[in-house]
Amino acid sequence: MERLQKFLRIGMLGGSMGVVGLGGALMLRYLLHRPQPLTSMLEGDASTYTWKYGQIFYKRAGNAELPPLVLLHTPEIGGSSYEMRYLIKELAHAYQVYALDLPGFGLSDRPALEYTAETYITVIRDFLCDVVQRPAVLLASGLSCKYSIAIASREPLLCTRLIFLSPQDLFLKNTGAAWLANGRMFPALAFFIYALLTPAWILRPLLTWQQRRSGRPITHSEFRYLSAAAHQYGAQHAAIALLTGKLQISITRQLESLQQPVFLIEGGRASHAELAELLHKTPQAQVAVISEAGLRVQEEAPERVSALVLAWEPQSAIAAGNRQREEREEVATLPSIERSTDKLLREVIEQLERERAEHSLEPVVEQPVVEKERYLVEYHTEPVRSGENQSKQDGEPLQNVSPQSSLEREEIHEPTNGDLNVQEIPAVEAYCVKCRQKREMTHAHKTVTKNGRSAMEGICPICATRLFRFIAG
């Protein structure tokens, strides 16, 4: 009996030493195989944005006069803007496209900080304010769909539309591994866990499960890139936060208050369990289904995704400058939605088709462009000495004067410098999301946002849309 117990102790000791040896070998292998060469495969001009926690790498493509569209990849092991590589070229024909690597992923810095959902919400908001500087369309996948909803709800002036690619687990609560939550407190443990996940014979099935593709496996070139992205210095920090559930966020309330149009592009072979609840909370949402694709529609059917995105926002509806007609045009020109064998999804699609049939379209009429004043003029001394009727008192500014009436007034009498003192203030320009170009604000005034940033706010002289622009100071 004593001999048996002795053999058991020796066996347990040997097994423990074997496990420790294997773990040490895997950690050594991970250390020796990083960093691996990594370059961006996306088209466009490469640049970096200096954020408070490091450099954010992004690519930009498309004409600067086009409306901005920001591509947001899902935060996952080996994740980066690489997943959007097939979309950026086509979308750049109609948008100025920005594709960034979120902190902790791809070619962006990977500092050792406590990554949470608020980390990514903050960096996306700051990127929109500091780099894009115009209201933008957000196209997101995975967890980034939640971050986009939070931004659109909190800062509606930064976001005009939302496009979600196979949004999954939108209503999922934090289901991360609680025992890994102290990974920041014990960095050696977090590093050890991450090293166990990165050997090729473990990483490949992990990525296959993570992306849940349908019919098309991960190719050798794709796996090499994803593996290289996972073998960068500091890549374990955001990955461990993902595994612990720290990157999750509840967006139920934000979703109910969402005002922007929403477009969902789903893979027919992906899970649609939450689609009915999502459409119930966002009645303005549109749905398109690509029957042959799985979860990664942007990689399995990129041509279809690009066509759907471009057709969802027709240029004729935007040029009209009428919100109601614009919404009707979007419903009418949306490509026919493919049917799925899923019973729940069929019911949702039938409801959408009934709503689309109820819309009566009106012809779009181009509004004439009236000539507008180049400057805002303030009159603040003696009244004009002329025969024209003046109801203003000395020292009062002229208000509610239209450009046409100003021109007529100048034809009747052209005041001299002795008649009045004129202070010319250059009109402030801002991008109008309806006119699709920069306009000079009317009724411009300075304001301060919730986070203390100075901005100018006014009205578009053509379509009366509210204009907004950040300014220095």
pLDDT, tens only, 69-105: 999 999 999 999 999 999 999 999 999 999 999 999 9
Q: How confident is the model at residue 469 (pLDDT cuts 50, 70, 90)?
A: confident
Residues 6+ apart with CB under 8 A from 372: 403, 440, 442, 461
Is residue 268 very low, low, confident or very high in pLDDT (cuts 50, 70, 90)? confident
Give 349-402 as a DSSP string: HHHHHHHHHHPPP----PPPPPP--SEEEEE-SSPP-SSS---PPTTPPP-S--
Tens digit of pLDDT for each residue in 19-36? 556 556 655 655 555 677
Q: In the structure, what pLDDT confidence band is assigned to residue 120 with cuts at 50, 70 and 90?
A: very high
pLDDT, averaged across the chain:
74
Q: Does 451 score more than 50 pLDDT?
A: yes
Q: Tell me the pTM.
A: 0.63
- In this predicted structure, the answer to whether residue 392 has a pLDDT above a threshold of 50 is no
More confident residue, 60 or 339: 60
- The pLDDT of residue 18 is 60
pLDDT tens digit sequence for 317-365 = 334 333 433 443 444 444 443 333 345 455 555 655 565 555 443 433 4
pLDDT of residue 33: 59
Helix axes 187-197, 2-32, angle to 10 degrees: 80
Distance separating alpha carbons of residues 268 and 349, to the nearest angstrom: 12
* Amino acid at the residue 183: G
Q: What is the mean pLDDT of residues 263-282?
A: 76
How large is the average pLDDT for residues 388-404?
42
Rounded to whole angstroms, the Cα distance separating 46 from 55 reads 13
Map out the domains of the chain as residue ranges.
45-358, 375-470
Residue range 45-358 forms a domain whose CATH class is alpha beta
Contact by Cβ (8 Å): 233, 110: yes
Structure tokens at 257: 């208050």
pLDDT at 400: 42
Query: H helices within 69-186, ranges in order?
Result: 88-91, 117-127, 144-154
Number of Cβ atoms within 10 Å of the Cβ of 173:
8
The neighbouring-strand residues paired with 443 are: none
Q: Determine the pLDDT at residue 125.
A: 96
